[in-house]
Structure 1
Amino acid sequence: MKIKTTTVLALLAAETASPASATDVFTLEGFGAISRGLGGAAVSLDVGPAGIMSNPATLSLSTDNLDPDSDSQLLIGLDIIAPNIDAYNDATGVKAASHTHSRNRGPYFAPELAYIRRSGKFTFGIGAFALGGLGTEYGKSSFLSSGLSGAPAGLDNSSRMLALDIPAAASVKVTDRLTIGGSIDAVWIGLNLGLQLQADQVGSLIGSGRVSGSLVPVLGGIPGLDAAHFGLTRNNYLLNGVDGWGLGGRVGFTYKLTPSTMIGGAYNFKTDVADLEGPATLTAVSTIAGQIPLTGRIRVRDFQMPARLSVGVTQRFGPQLLITAEYQRAFWKDAMKNINVGFEADAAGDINVLLPQNYRNQDIVAVGGAYEMGPMTFRVGARFASQATPGATLLAVVPTIPRYHASAGMTYKLGKRQAIDFAYSHAFKEKVSNDGLPNTSQPLSVTHSQNNLSIGYRLSF
């Protein structure tokens, strides 16, 4: 009955999640307030049920934070994420601020829900977490909504992506020193997108062989073509323009080198999510004929979350103090080479577009420390990452650029079996510029900083 109840709660969280603006490109910088307070480190220490998302092998560790004699533990939590994103036309100095222009975006709320149960040497768990996402809303009147002529088109430029992960995990305590674990995950990705390309961007994509289909000569033959706009957005807190389901998973281990030194590692597999599909409108904007909308179906092909390798070490200095450090390698180069879009018009005809992204693999280092004092545990952390987003392929609606974080957190025990966890992390402002076709018509810079708050309640029983 407990497992059935938790499954229902996980699915409910999946349905009510709002998107998170991610900070390691599309992925969050940690799962659960304990990990978040430590800069996102999690593979070599017990971070409670949220460890199901980082290293399932940690679920077999003896819980120091709550009653170690309990067989079950429940986590209910929430991430609140407030990004600050601005795009600049570097030729004119005009700014397009990404604010809440509609129900499409921010601030974002991401669920944290997990249940684990121990049975002898084995621990089983299920959960529902926002794996990551992004979000922008520049509205309909910024310079991003103007055609090549400078005339306003009045069409929105925005994005909202949420990746939701529902893991089912198992771990085993092989010896007093070694634990191993793994998970199989149901992964859902939903996407809203409003993207306007000026006429010279369309011409650049066609000239480089990145556009194909029967609608290409039709689009190229429109007199006074000024811009083309893809609209696949539902102006709703929950619904998305396109979405798809698939699979993911991870494996991991922990090993106690000494009574006070623990190492751990995990490998997250690249997701295998079906193409994201749904209704859309392709609008050609002409200085002569005005706006020419075509309704149809759109497919965003092979949009995946990347594989990730994590290794870490945690050192305890007595029962109160610990220091942890972790290295991660996120394989974005394989996952995000292009945004591959295919559109089929209701009135016949199709067009296929490859928007270049060419992300780099990302190296990440997370460090953190914790000090326990009575019923409270205080944490601090920092996170440093290389830049995965090349400036030459930057899109204003996909500003996945923060690299540096500082975090702090605490746990307050409510007796032996309950605890409340808090964490705050700040992503420092990062700036990336793009001065060439095809992903921008004018010299473009985007800045992005944000504040994240994670709150969790844990119950052992």
Structure 2
Amino acid sequence: MMQKKLMTALACSALAVSSPAALATDVFQLEGIGAVSRAMGGTAVAHDVGAGGMLTNPANLSFGANDREVMLGLDLVTTDITVRNKANGESVDSDTHSKNRGPYLAPQLAYTQRLGNLTIGIGAFAQGGLGTEYGRSSFLSRATGGADTGLENSSRLLVLDIPLAASYKVSEALTIGGSVDALWQGLNLDLLLGADQVGSLLGSGRAKGSLVPVLAGLPALQGAHFSLTKNKLLGSGVDAWGIAGRLGLAYQLTPLTRLGASYNFRSRISDMEGDARLTAVDGVVGQIPLEGKIKIRDFQMPAKLIIGGSHRVTPQWMVTADVSRVFWKEVMKDVKVAFEANAGGNLNILLPQNYRDQTILALGTSYVLNPEWTLRAGARFASQALRSDTLFAVIPATPTKHLSFGFSYAVSPDSRIDFAFSHALREKMENGSLPNTSAPIEVRHSQNNATLNYTLTF
């Protein structure tokens, strides 16, 4: 029990927060692990990106220049999210209203060691997440009929990946690798559904349970609010542990060209569980809070296939390209919510999402100026996984285009600093459809991400 609490504390501290943020950029996943990959558009499958490569293609761990490496890093993610009510022009920004959200400060830690043809590695990385903070006084906190509820609308999903990876050099040309990963994810969520949204869920068979007739029997139901949040710097209302893994290979096609491929398996994470409050909002009776337990069932990270290549145009200049297919459709059909009231009664809701599978093209380049300085740049273009008619204001994981740059500086022959900056171009999406929104909304979302790594070799 103590070990589980320790690991959960590590998971929380790896994604601590303090003002507005949404950590993920490829839906719920970061667009590259480590500063080398991030600066080069997230490319990582066919060139050495350091210890962070164990989360993309572990086969590339064999290409490190030294027998042992320790990497320490930090991600900083900030966002600009605005939601506008298209019916009346009101808008609200995701901003700091509690201790619960960003910017995300996400530490990275990894160690690799070469043992002959075998290289092993272990690490702890922020894989992704999301976060919004709209407060208690915007139009998102108004129930049907215009009643100001004073109830919060916000979210925070955190995903921590702890891989144990290995890479083996089969021949001078072929390297293979794999990893087994422990995954932790935690969720905070405050969500108000208007009476029209509740009615839509009931009418489509997406809301069931013994509490349904109780809600339907209220004299003037105006909405229902779920709160599963720990309003603390570190903490999640519901969380769970699970496993995942990946396989990869790299092939040196010519002395100047390398090809790579990897497959990340779909996660197997337990249902996220914790305490929650369901508040019925009624125009006659007022607000009726019900304390209980809640589960977010089968919330998984998707499988991903990546193929790519790297080519040295000159001894100093390298170009890279990766193509990814991310299988969101399999794991994000519905958000499955199961609530059990302490006083008795249950409510099971399926919130539709219907994500599409996503295709991503990543491009990168690096240039060695001298033994101390290496410059990098990249771009990333993705298809849109979210559908406009199922968009939630609290889940605006919409950016699809990124530009990035960075550098490495060799502090000494045994240590270097890597830096990357990535900008997600502003994306706009609209939704005027029940049940995921009552008012027609327009969401605008852009994002900045800075990554700093320090690597010591010995």
Shift in Å, 1:314: 0.2
Instruction: In structure 2, give the amino acid aligned to 1:129.
Output: F
Which position in structure 2 is the counterpart of 1:371?
A: 367
Instruction: In structure 1, give the amino acid aligned to 2:121.
Output: G
Could you tell me which runs of 5 or more consecutive residues in structure 1 were left unpaired when the two chains were aligned.
1-8
Over the aligned positions, Cα root-mean-square deviation in angstroms equals 1.2
1:98 aligns with 2:100: no
1:48 aligns with 2:44: no
Match of 1:194 among 190, 194, 205: 190
Instruction: In structure 1, give the amino acid aligned to 2:432.
Output: D
SS in 2 for 1:254: strand
Match of 1:382 among 379, 386, 395: 379
Instruction: In structure 2, give the amino acid aligned to 1:335.
Output: V
1:171-320 matches, within 5 Å, as 171-320=167-316
Map Cα deviations across residues 398-443 of structure 1 (whole Å, 9 max, x no partner): 0010000000000000121100000000000001111111111111
**Counterpart-to-counterpart distance in 2, 1:11 and 1:318:** 47
Shift in Å, 1:445: 1.1
**Counterpart-to-counterpart distance in 1, 2:15 and 2:442:** 27
- Contact 1:17–1:238 (CA<8 Å) still a contact in 2? no
TM-score with structure 2 setting the length: 0.96
Shift in Å, 1:104: 1.0
Bigger Cα displacement from structure 2, 107-116 vs 194-203: 107-116
- Contact 1:13–1:113 (CA<8 Å) still a contact in 2? no
Over the matched positions of the two proteins, sequence identity in percent amounts to: 56
SS in 1 for 2:53: helix
Instruction: In structure 2, give the amino acid aligned to 1:75.
Output: M
Map Cα deviations across residues 121-177 of structure 1 (whole Å, 9 max, x no partner): 000000000111000000000100001111100000000000100000111000011
Instruction: In structure 2, give the amino acid aligned to 1:179.
Output: T
Which position in structure 1 is the counterpart of 2:438?
A: 441
Match of 2:144 among 126, 142, 148: 148
**Counterpart-to-counterpart distance in 2, 1:354 and 1:279:** 19
Which position in structure 2 is the counterpart of 1:162?
A: 158
1:37 aligns with 2:33: no
1:117-132 matches, within 5 Å, as 117-132=113-128
- Contact 1:13–1:128 (CA<8 Å) still a contact in 2? no
Match of 1:58 among 57, 60, 85: 60
Shift in Å, 1:318: 2.4
1:392 aligns with 2:394: no
Shift in Å, 1:71: 1.6
Could you tell me which runs of 5 or more consecutive residues in structure 2 were left unpaired when the two chains were aligned.
1-5, 17-21
TM-score with structure 1 setting the length: 0.96
- Contact 2:83–2:441 (CA<8 Å) still a contact in 1? yes
- Contact 2:8–2:184 (CA<8 Å) still a contact in 1? no
- Contact 1:11–1:128 (CA<8 Å) still a contact in 2? no
Pair 1:10–1:169, CA change in 2 (3 A): farther
Instruction: In structure 2, give the amino acid aligned to 1:258.
Output: T
1:320-339 matches, within 5 Å, as 320-339=316-335
Pair 1:79–1:458, CA change in 2 (3 A): same
**Counterpart-to-counterpart distance in 1, 2:354 and 2:454:** 40
SS in 1 for 2:290: strand
- Contact 1:10–1:128 (CA<8 Å) still a contact in 2? no
Aligned residues: 447
Which position in structure 2 is the counterpart of 1:114?
A: 110
SS in 2 for 1:414: strand
Map Cα deviations across residues 69-124 of structure 1 (whole Å, 9 max, x no partner): x3210110010000111111111110011001111111111121110000000000
1:417 aligns with 2:417: no
Instruction: In structure 2, give the amino acid aligned to 1:50.
Output: G
Shift in Å, 1:452: 0.3
SS in 1 for 2:452: strand
- Contact 1:387–1:403 (CA<8 Å) still a contact in 2? yes
Pair 1:48–1:257, CA change in 2 (3 A): same
